[in-house]
């Protein structure tokens, strides 16, 4: 595998942006199937490669992995800040595909993430079911409305206008799941959370919501907290679960 550190100019962010990319080497089929792998609130684009064995796991499958930096944006066009949702959802795939031989076919594109990134990955899949074949959340911040209402993080005012602006909006995963239900194309969904995680109850509520709607959700839980040992184990579960066409 090749590991590339990329710095480039982002029009949507109006700053220099960063991403790390893992690419297959050798006689691999091109264009590459691609996993957009999203970081959590306190991390950046280096977190997954520094704290897990994602490169080794991806090598066995011959897929590319794109890991962007989004600061503490919650994958949102911020109330007071940059347009990180536009960056991740629109600009990033276009730029990554212009640099590298990445497939633009729905069946070859996936998203996953942890905590804030689990929210971001699920948001991508439910917002654009025609673009992603599967999305996965590990210890995801699934109920942003609750987090904003309880003022869980002091910088939420910079991200969301207020709690009333979240419920039922494109930032609300519960509302996005309802909108996605019944559509012809729905990505496969994967969700995992440790039973000792502070986001566990939120994950259970979202699991039950998806099941009630009949969405194609695979759910796993077990002992675990909000930490890298758990995410290293379960990202391997995610990669084995992905519907990799032809494998």
Q: Predicted confidence band at 151 (pLDDT cuts at 50, 70, 90)?
A: confident
pLDDT at residue 56, rounded to an integer: 96
Beta-bridge partners for 18: 7
Q: Other C-beta atoms within 10 Å of 61: how many?
A: 15
Q: What is the CATH number of domain 2-241?
A: 3.40.50.1820
Q: How confident is the model over 16-64, as pLDDT tens digits?
A: 999 999 999 986 678 999 999 999 999 999 999 999 999 999 999 999 9
Q: How confident is the model over 184-243, as pLDDT tens digits?
A: 899 999 999 999 999 999 999 999 999 999 999 999 999 999 999 999 999 999 999 999
CA 205, 221, 141, 218 torsion-angle sign:
negative
pLDDT at residue 152, rounded to an integer: 73
CA 141, 146, 152, 158 torsion-angle sign:
positive
Average pLDDT, whole number, for the chain? 95
Q: Is the pLDDT of residue 247 over 60?
A: no
Residue-range domain boundaries for the chain: 2-241
Query: What is residue 45's three-state secondary structure?
Result: coil
Q: What predicted TM-score, i.e. pTM, was given to this entire model?
A: 0.97
- In the Cβ-directed half-sphere of 223, how many Cα atoms lie within 13 Å? 0
CB-based burial, 189-228: b 16+ in 10 Å, e otherwise: bbbbbbeebebbebbbebbebbeebebebebeeeebebee
């Amino acid at each position: 595998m090749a590991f590339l550190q990329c710095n480039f100019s982002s029009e949507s962010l109006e700053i220099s942006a960063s991403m790390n990319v893992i690419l297959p080497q050798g006689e691999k089929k091109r264009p590459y199937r691609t996993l957009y792998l999203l970081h959590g609130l306190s991390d950046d684009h280096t977190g997954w490669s520094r704290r897990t064995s994602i490169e080794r796991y991806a090598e066995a499958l011959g897929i590319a992995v794109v890991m962007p930096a989004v600061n503490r944006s919650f994958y949102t066009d911020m109330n007071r800040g940059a347009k990180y949702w536009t960056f991740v959802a629109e600009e990033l795939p276009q730029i990554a595909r212009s640099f590298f031989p990445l497939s633009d076919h729905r069946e070859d594109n996936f998203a996953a993430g942890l905590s804030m990134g689990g929210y971001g990955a699920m948001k991508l899949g439910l917002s654009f079911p025609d673009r992603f074949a599967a999305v996965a959340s590990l210890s995801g911040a699934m109920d942003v409305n609750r987090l904003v209402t309880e003022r869980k993080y002091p910088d939420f005012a910079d991200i969301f206008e207020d709690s009333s602006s979240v419920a039922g909006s494109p930032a609300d995963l519960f509302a996005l799941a309802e909108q996605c239900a019944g559509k012809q194309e729905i990505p496969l969904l994967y969700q995992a959370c440790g039973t000792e995680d502070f986001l566990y109850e939120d994950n259970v509520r979202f699991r039950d919501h998806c099941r009630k709607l009949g969405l194609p959700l695979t759910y796993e839980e077990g002992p675990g907290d909000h930490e890298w040992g758990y995410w290293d184990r379960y990202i391997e579960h995610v990669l084995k679960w992905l519907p990799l066409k032809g494998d």
